[in-house]
């Protein structure tokens, strides 16, 4: 199936946008599937412009921390720039604090997407994809207890917007993956992600794209640790990185 490779602003600062785009484009030419190159959580207009210039197929503008009207204004500008080059635009509405934040249910409710605002936002901006906050968060510690999403809110957003929806923070942080990582010394006590049953239900209820990062980071780290701990005499980076990539491939599959 097609795959979308997401590149964050921090990754761009680390390796450079030309390097990131060049690597993905080169690798994409070697596989028989469609590969999209996406800017994830773009905050700076200059980064978004550079992504469009360097062949990204889609960009995300994340102004979800701004007041609604300002979010609309910023997002509309990005849509103008991106659409003029045939590049799709994703935007975020609503925001969810981490599970460790000590806030009330009413306060947490205020961070989730408002379906009526979502309808206005899509109509006023002309975005191609919407990332609505419906209960997940980034990182390995998404929930204090069992994972839970607001499916009724998701249903209303889908009904009112009729655009493809994106679920951020979709890593499962499942026991098998955690067990493999912890076996080789990674400490993630209390880590909890989005269980597969909830994720499958979200897709059935209207989610079209899921973003997974944490699971890949854990897998990569587990692969590296497995070599360093089991084969302490190995110092060839290729022999260390190989298993790390294999661990990541298993997660993707």
Q: What is the CATH number of the domain that holds 71?
A: 3.20.20.70
The answer as to whether 225 is a domain residue is: no
The answer as to whether 30 is a domain residue is: yes
| Confidence class for position 108, pLDDT limits 50, 70, 90 | low
Q: What are the pLDDT digits (tens) for 61-105?
A: 999 999 999 999 999 999 999 999 999 999 999 875 554 344 444
> Which letter does DSSP use for residue 91 in this model?
E
| Confidence class for position 153, pLDDT limits 50, 70, 90 | very high
Find the DSSP H helices in the chain. Answer: 9-15, 17-28, 45-53, 68-83, 105-111, 115-125, 151-161, 175-183, 196-204, 214-230, 237-252
How many domains does the chain contain in total?
Answer: 1
**From 40, 65, 213, 236, the catalytic residue:** 40
Specify the pLDDT at position 106: 46
| Confidence class for position 141, pLDDT limits 50, 70, 90 | very low
CB 68 within 8 A of CB 117: yes
Active site residue 128: no
Specify the pLDDT at position 145: 52
Range of the domain at 147: 3-173+196-212
The answer as to whether 247 is a domain residue is: no
The answer as to whether 238 is a domain residue is: no
| Confidence class for position 45, pLDDT limits 50, 70, 90 | very high
Best CA proximity match to 201, nearest among 158, 154, 159, 163: 154
The answer as to whether 203 is a domain residue is: yes
The answer as to whether 50 is a domain residue is: yes
Best CA proximity match to 22, nearest among 42, 5, 46: 5
Specify the pLDDT at position 100: 39
How high is the mean pLDDT of the chain? 87
């Amino acid at each position: 199936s097609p795959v979308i490779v997401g590149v964050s602003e921090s990754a761009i600062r680390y390796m450079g946008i030309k390097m990131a785009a060049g690597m993905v484009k080169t690798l994409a030419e070697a596989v028989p599937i469609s590969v999209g190159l996406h800017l994830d959580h773009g905050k700076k207009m200059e980064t978004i412009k550079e992504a469009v210039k360097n062949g990204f197929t889609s960009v995300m503008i994340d102004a979800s921390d701004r007041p609604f009207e300002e979010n609309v204004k910023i997002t509309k500008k990005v849509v103008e720039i991106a659409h003029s080059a045939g590049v799709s635009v994703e935007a975020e509405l609503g925001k969810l604090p981490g599970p460790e934040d000590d806030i009330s249910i009413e306060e947490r409710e205020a961070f989730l997407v408002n379906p009526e605002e979502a309808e206005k936002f899509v109509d006023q901006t002309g975005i191609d994809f919407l990332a609505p906050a419906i209960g997940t968060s980034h990182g390995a510690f998404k929930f204090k207890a069992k994972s839970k999403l607001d499916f009724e809110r998701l249903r209303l957003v889908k009904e009112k917007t009729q655009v493809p929806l994106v679920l951020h923070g979709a890593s499962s942080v499942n026991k098998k993956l955690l067990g493999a990582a912890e076996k080789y010394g990674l400490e993630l006590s209390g880590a909890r992600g989005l269980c597969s049953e909830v994720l499958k239900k979200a897709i059935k209820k209207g989610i079209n794209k899921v973003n997974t990062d944490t699971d890949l980071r854990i897998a990569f780290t587990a692969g590296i640790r497995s070599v360093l701990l089991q084969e302490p005499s190995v110092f060839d980076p290729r022999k260390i990185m190989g298993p790390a990539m294999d661990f990541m491939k298993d997660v993707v599959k």
